[in-house]
Amino acid sequence: MKILADYHTHTVYSHGKGTIEENVKVAISKGLKTLGISDHGYKNVAYGVKIDNFKRMREEIDMLNEKYNNQIKILLGVECNILDNKGNIDLHDKFNKYLDYVMAGYHFGSIPTSLKGMVNICQNYFLKSEKAKEYNTEAIINTMKNNDIFVITHPGDKGDIYIEEVAKVAKDTDTRLEINSSHSFLNVEQLKKIKDYNLKFIIGSDAHIPQNVGNFELALDTVNKSGLNKSLIENILI
C-alpha cells in the first residue's frame, strides 16, 4: 500500500508550527505525490488565516511548485469552519479564487453568523442530547448541500452526529469524509455503520508540525479495525 497524498496539513499561517516549504520537504521525503496546505478559515478567532494571506500563500505555493517540479504537486486548500446549521462556512469570495479545494469541519473558537448561532454551536459542542445531535447533523448536511466541499474533516468531532444521515448526503453530493489521523473521527464505530454505503473517503494527517505530514498510523489502524474496503480511500494505492 502506498500513500499518494495528504490534503490536511497546517502551517504557521494558522496554528501549525512549520512553514509551507517545511511541510513540502517532509512530504517529499515520505514519497507523497501530492501535498495539500489547508489552514483554518478566517472566522476562527484563535488561529484563522488572515484574509490577505491567501494571496501570499498562493504565490508561495506557485513558487514552490516550480522549485520542486517533478517531485511533488502542492495544492492550496482551506479547512473552513462550519458556522451554523444552515450550512454557512467562512468561504469568502475574496480568497476563494486562490484555492484548489475546500474542506469544512466543526472547530472551537469560530464566529457563528448570529448570536443565536453562537449559543447553538456552543451548546452542541458540549451537550450530549438528541437535539444537539440533530443540529450538528443538519449543519454538516447543509454544508455539503450548499457549498462545493471536497472533504468534511473529522466528522463527529466537537459534536455528535447521525453518521448514516451524513453519509447519505456525502454520497449524493460527491463529498469525501475524512478518517483523521490526529483525532479519533471518523472512528471504528462510525465506519462500521457506513462502510457499505460506497462512499469516497480520504485519510488525513491533520499535521500541525512538519514531522507529522503523511503520518497516517492512527487512521490506518481505524480502517483496519472497521473492515472498510481500502479501495474506497482515494489517497492510498493498494
Among 44-58, 102-116, 169-183, which is the least confidently predicted range?
A: 102-116
Q: Report which of 136, 21, 19 is spatially closest to residue 67, judged by C-alpha positions.
A: 21
Instruction: Write the single-letter amino acid at 11.
Output: T
Q: What is the mean pLDDT of residues 91-104?
A: 92
- In degrees rounded to 5, what are phi and psi of residue 14? -125, -105
69-87 confidence digits (pLDDT tens): 999 999 999 999 999 999 9
pTM: 0.92
Whether the predicted pLDDT of 119 surpasses 90: no
User: Would you state the cell numbers that stand for residue 9, as one nine-digit string?
Assistant: 496539513
pLDDT beyond 70 at 17: yes
d(CA 226, CA 49): 35
Q: Which of 83-92, 163-172, 184-193 has the lowest mean pLDDT?
A: 83-92
Q: Write out pLDDT tens, residues 123-166.
A: 555 556 788 899 999 999 999 999 999 999 999 998 899 999 99
- 181-190 mean pLDDT: 95
Strands of the 201-204 sheet, one edge to the other: 5-6, 34-40, 73-81, 103-105, 151-152, 176-180, 201-204
Mean pLDDT of the chain: 91
| CA dihedral for 156, 160, 161, 164, sign (positive or negative) | positive
The CATH-assigned architecture of domain 2-214 is Alpha-Beta Barrel (3.20)
Which range (68-77, 104-113, 180-189, 200-209) has the least confidence? 104-113
